[in-house]
Amino acid sequence: MKNRSIKIVFIYILLVLTGCQDEWLEPKPLSFYSPENAFNTPEGLDAALLRTRLGIRQDYEGSFWSNINSEYVWTDLANQGNPNAAHPHDAVTQLIPASNPGTFVSMWYWDHAYQMIQISNLVINRIDQPEYEDEAVKNALLAEAYFHRAYWYYRLVHQFGDVPYIGQEVIEPKLDFQTFTMEAILQSIKEDMEYAVQWLPEQVDGGKVNRAAGNHLLTKIYLAVREFDNAVLAASRIIDDSQHELMTERFGSGRFADDPDYNVWWDLFQKENISTNAEAILVAPNAFGLEGNSNDDKGNMTIRNWTPNWWQINGMRYTENNPDEQSASIGRGVGYMSPSPFFRFVLPAEDPNDLRYSDANWHEITDFWFNNPNSSRFGESFTMEDYRALGGDTIRKAFPFFKNKFVIPQQRVGQYEGGFADQYVFRVAETYLLRAEAHYWNGDLENAAADINAVRGRVEASPVDPADVDIEYIFDERARELYGETPRKTELSRVSYILAHLNRNGYSLESIHENNWYYDRVINKHTMYNRGIVHAGQELRIAPYHLNWPIPQSAIDANTGGIINQNPGYSGVENNVPPVTEITEED
């Protein structure tokens, strides 16, 4: 019966998603596969949530361009390395309301988030449809649906700003959506998550949402609405929970598990260990050969996206059949995510004892070697002089990277561009850094430093002094620990709005699109933006209003019965109307 319910649910969801993509229209099935039949059991509702669980994993995949990459382009840590002019380099001319969603994945987030919200609303709306033997089962299903809705609204408001709020299942054509304020949406999802953390189970099967994940998301929401004491409490519920802790000793059965030259930060990212350690809070499962895995059996593609195009350096080559040692060990990267000089050189230099930058985890520029037998330099190491001689090609062809995170062993046949592994979405190291941030906002630098040092102590980095803790240092530490895992732009935006609400450091809500922390940090740290540097025939540029991505013009045009506002700085803003400031039960 359960498998039959799952099949019915997926057919219905396919119809829902197709309708959402066609100007927000949704067909109403009249056949056996109707929502009244599909969702009349707890198993049917749980099957609907399978799609939202998959939706989180899809953030980390893409055979050409992983979606999470868009959270790093135009930030302090990275820029687009692809030399194709169609891809994002100049935000001023390319990040526009009519951008092509095929190359600007910011537009993918808009469609994807609302699809996940629609499925969450479906479960919430139909939660009373089945009969339950245990009321706790109903509450847990409702709690997870609230989690997924809150997760994507949290992302949407920090990507796009004020957006439409849809709190009900859309069951008929609707073309009169309205824009709601970010604050109203955050307050609404805060209330949802305060309910959810009471009912999410403490222990779940892989891919499902547990109570710790609920508290982790709630911590972020509390920070966003400036309830810093509550953020401390929510994070502490995870940190003080015996089921979750930082992994501080070597563990697991991954590659080189018994090799003393490796360390705990290596073990943390081995695919055999990701879902089985106490630090993991929320994990997106992915495995080779299973139905529904990522990218039509292409894997995580982390090598392709996050490691350099080294094999196009003169004197080097990638070999697929009978690969040489270099090809076999680091694979075929293409350098789509090109880390900033700040990430390449400044962050690693902060502490030479930091295990994150040990030989086990960090592939230095000088770790490459000339592996083409036809080269006169065959067998020689790549030097910093060679690196500097590349000039502009350093953007894509040579940069250091975390090989423990991004070089995943290959199982499928074909180019070695990244194998299959589960993906951390939330883990305890970030919980500590979120609590450190809450302490910082409260002016409690002693406890902020203690939380940061818990993370740094695990990798044998020197402790930070409380007097040196500020928001800049916290985000430096987030970069060292969480690069490639967490949505960077979302978190930069969140802090920008906190500072504006608090009227700190010269920032305010009234001028946030002309003056904000996101822009100032990117310009100060990523020394290639707005310096006249040209890549792919385009200048690398951003502007303060890029704090918010543009609302897709397609969504605005399709909404013929109402007005969806455009963000300041983009064409169409002159048509805006005051956004809705309060969410009611009818919304």
pLDDT (0 to 100) of residue 419: 86
Q: What is the DSSP string of 149-196?
A: HHHHHHHHHHHHSSEE---S---S------EE-HHHHHHHHHHHHHHH
| pLDDT beyond 80 at 21 | no
* Residue (of 285, 270, 226) closest to 441 by Cα position: 226
The DSSP output letter for 551 is: P
Helices then strands, each counted (H, E), the chain: 22, 10
CA 345 to chain centre: 23
Residue 33 CA to residue 248 CA, distance in Å, equals 50
pLDDT digits (tens, 9 = 90+) for 378-405: 999 999 999 999 999 999 999 999 999 9
Q: Two tokens at 125?
A: 């709306």
| pLDDT beyond 60 at 161 | yes
pLDDT (0 to 100) of residue 63: 64
pLDDT digits (tens, 9 = 90+) for 164-176: 999 999 988 899 9
pLDDT (0 to 100) of residue 185: 98
Report the pLDDT averaged over residues 489-517: 98
What 3-state class would DSSP assign to 362? strand
Residue 571 CA to residue 573 CA, distance in Å, equals 6
Terminal-residue alpha carbon distance, the chain: 35
| pLDDT beyond 70 at 15 | no
User: Residue 218: which region, alpha, beta or left (left: phi > 0; alpha: psi -120 to 50)?
Assistant: alpha
Q: Which of 13-22, 189-198, 560-569 has the lowest mean pLDDT?
A: 13-22
pLDDT (0 to 100) of residue 22: 45
Task: Tell me the average pLDDT of the chain.
Answer: 91
pLDDT (0 to 100) of residue 16: 45
pLDDT (0 to 100) of residue 35: 63
Q: Which of 15-29, 243-257, 369-383 has the lowest mean pLDDT?
A: 15-29
Q: Where are the beta strands (DSSP E) in 207-363?
A: 280-284, 337-339, 362-363
pLDDT digits (tens, 9 = 90+) for 422-464: 999 999 999 999 999 999 999 999 999 999 999 999 999 999 9
- Which domains are present in the chain? 1-184+503-587 (1.25.40.390), 201-285+422-486 (1.25.40.10), 294-421 (no CATH)
488-502 and 135-160 helices, crossing angle to 10° = 80
pLDDT (0 to 100) of residue 4: 44
pLDDT digits (tens, 9 = 90+) for 33-70: 566 677 889 999 999 999 999 999 999 887 667 889 99
pLDDT (0 to 100) of residue 295: 61
Q: Which of 72-76, 251-255, 339-343 has the lowest mean pLDDT?
A: 251-255
* C-beta of residue 550 within 8 angstroms of C-beta of residue 570: yes
CA geometry: angle at 493 spanning 489 and 498, to 5°? 155
pLDDT digits (tens, 9 = 90+) for 103-143: 677 888 999 999 999 999 999 999 999 999 999 999 999 99
* Residue (of 568, 569, 574, 556) closest to 179 by Cα position: 556
Q: Two tokens at 294?
A: 């990522």
pLDDT digits (tens, 9 = 90+) for 347-375: 999 999 999 999 999 999 999 999 999 99
Report the pLDDT averaged over residues 193-203: 97
pLDDT (0 to 100) of residue 465: 98
Report the pLDDT averaged over residues 15-32: 46
Nearby residues of 338 by Cβ (< 8 Å), 6 or more positions away:
78, 79, 80, 81, 308, 395, 396, 399
Residue 263 CA to residue 250 CA, distance in Å, equals 6
Q: What is the DSSP string of 467-531?
A: GG--HHHHHHHHHHHHTTTS-HHHHHHHHHHHHHHHT-TT--GGGTTTS-HHHHHHHHH-TTTTT
Residue whose structure tokens are 């969140």: 494
| pLDDT beyond 80 at 3 | no
Residue whose structure tokens are 């592996």: 371
Q: Two tokens at 71?
A: 């959270």
Q: Two tokens at 269?
A: 């990212």
Residue 194 CA to residue 230 CA, distance in Å, equals 11
| pLDDT beyond 70 at 504 | yes
CA 470 to chain centre: 23
